[in-house]
Amino acid sequence: MNRAQKIATYNLIMMISGSAVVLLTSLMELPDLVCVIEIVIVFTLVFTSPLLFKKKQGRVSFDERDAIINQRAMLVAFSAAFGCLGGQYIMPLIKVGLEGSVRVYELVAMYIGALICFVISKSLMVLIQYGWGGKHAKE
């Protein structure tokens, strides 16, 4: 596996497992602070993944094919995140109507949900485009 595949696999595992833990703790009705701390920990681990998988000296780690794969993955990820955000904006409208109100916490949760959708879809697209098998870089 090359560096992009390792980062995508790591991010995917961290996001799915972290989302499951946050969902379970929210179902157990723990305080909202616990969920926020878990979300911060998961995103910290995800955004430090490039530091965990460092570039190897003397090797080309990113060529034209990798750039095209990254560009396509970003396009799909942004599309998925905006679709997720749009769907999340419609849910409160249906739930409380035009005259109702929502808590600020729910608005923040919408953006966190869009960010989760972004990271998962980008990681999946990177892995799908590389073929899940690591055919690109034989190390």
Q: What is the 3-state secondary structure (H, E, C) of 23-81?
A: HHHHHCCCCHHHHHHHHHHHHHHHHCHHHHCCCCCCCCCCCHHHHHHHHHHHHHHHHHH
**Residue 136 within any structural domain of the chain:** no
**Residue 138 within any structural domain of the chain:** no
**pLDDT tens over the chain, length 139 residues:** 788 888 899 889 888 888 887 777 777 776 666 767 777 888 888 778 877 877 777 666 677 888 899 999 999 999 999 999 999 889 888 888 888 888 887 788 888 888 889 999 999 999 999 885 445 444 4
Query: What's the pLDDT at 138?
Result: 45
Which residue range is the domain that position 77 belongs to? 3-54+63-130
**Residue 17 within any structural domain of the chain:** yes
Query: What's the pLDDT at 2?
Result: 83
**Residue 119 within any structural domain of the chain:** yes
**Residue 105 within any structural domain of the chain:** yes
Query: What's the pLDDT at 134?
Result: 47
**Residue 72 within any structural domain of the chain:** yes
**Rounded distance, CA 11 to CA 17, Å?**
10
Query: What's the pLDDT at 79?
Result: 96
User: Which residue, chain included where needed, has tokens 């929502």?
Assistant: 102
Could you give the number of structural domains in the chain? 1
**Residue 75 within any structural domain of the chain:** yes
**Residue 81 within any structural domain of the chain:** yes
pTM of the entire predicted model: 0.79
